Amino acid sequence: MKFHVLGCAGGQLPGYNLSCYLVDGSLLVDAGSTTATLNLRAQQKITDILITHIHLDHVMALGLLADNLYGRGTSINLWSIDRVIDGLRRYFFNNQIWPDFTRITGPTQRRPVFKLKNLSEGRSKRVGDHVVTAVQVDHLVPSVAFFIENKEKTLLHLGDTGPTNKVWSLAGKYGRLIAVVVETSFPNRLQEIADASRHLTPQTLARETAKLAMPSVPILVTHLKPEYRREIAAELKKLKDPRLRVLKDGEVLRF
């Protein structure tokens, strides 16, 4: 499995890209920085996009991606649970904040660029070359984690979340789990805002990863707020957990 970190920042400043990950060249997880990081040819290879939740830093590039691909015959499936898909319909593709590229067609685009597809929570579904299972986590808006499986391996990717439980108990049932991608947005001194916004700090991340009874599975930390990145990284290092690794924009991991 090839995991390309297009963007892993929890905010946007020059040199920091918003949440966006490409799996095996065709499956996208979130779309915060797709058009800022992929050339047009690579964008045309995307067949499916998993949306963790509708916050702008995770879906912002969807509109521009549709602009880039309209008229090229491309059709991409957008996948998530019902409440996330409903949010995309109501708040994003509504012909107000952005044209509804889930409906627009024409002589050069027989099918809409995007097709909204529902995942039932806890039920596995074939998504392109992968099998995906969505599990809800705890955030201010409906947000999900995805178990992404190929024939041999499983990657667990959490969207934005505060402390949660169900996903960790399910993770223990995957004997082929290769890595967990999980957020840590704020330093410990900002625990109050982390709790209010349903995000993690290094100290709450430590409590969460303790729920994963798999001591050899890498924990790939993402969504650090750029202005606190050094502080968060230093606090993560103090945890002395050899599983932890802070992701960087642009890196490619192969499992």
Q: Can you list the positions of beta strands (E) in the chain? A: 2-7, 20-23, 27-29, 48-50, 76-80, 114-118, 125-127, 130-137, 143-149, 154-158, 177-183, 219-222, 244-246, 252-254
Q: For 198-255, how does the pLDDT look when each residue is reduced to its tens digit (9 = 90+)?
A: 999 999 999 999 999 888 999 999 999 999 999 999 999 999 999 999 999 999 999 9
The pLDDT of residue 104: 96
Residue-wise DSSP of 3-14? EEEEE-BSS--T
- Name 50's bridge partners: 29, 79
Q: CA 19, CA 95: separation in Å to the nearest integer?
A: 24
- pLDDT at position 172 is 87
CA distances from 35 to 17, 31, 38, 161 (A): 11, 8, 6, 25
- Amino acid 33: pLDDT: 97
Question: pTM of the full predicted structure?
Answer: 0.96
pLDDT the model gives residue 166: 96
Q: What is the pLDDT of residues 20-76, one digit of tens each?
A: 999 999 999 999 999 999 999 999 999 999 999 999 999 999 999 999 999 998 899
pLDDT digits (tens, 9 = 90+) for 151-173: 889 999 998 999 999 999 999 88
Tens digit of each residue's pLDDT (9 = 90 or more) over 111-159: 999 999 999 999 999 999 999 999 999 999 999 999 999 988 999 999 8
Reported as a single tens digit per residue, the pLDDT across 76-101 is 999 999 999 999 999 999 999 999 99
Q: What is the dihedral of CA 144, 198, 57, 134, to 10 degrees?
A: 0
CATH number, domain of 35, equals: 3.60.15.10
Q: Please state the separation of Cα 148 from the chain's center in Å.
A: 11
> How many domains does the chain fold into?
1
- Segment 6-21 shows an average pLDDT of 97
- Write out the two tokens for 76: 């991409």
**In the predicted model, is pLDDT for residue 180 greater than 90?**
yes
Residue 204 has what pLDDT? 98
Domain carrying residue 247: 2-254
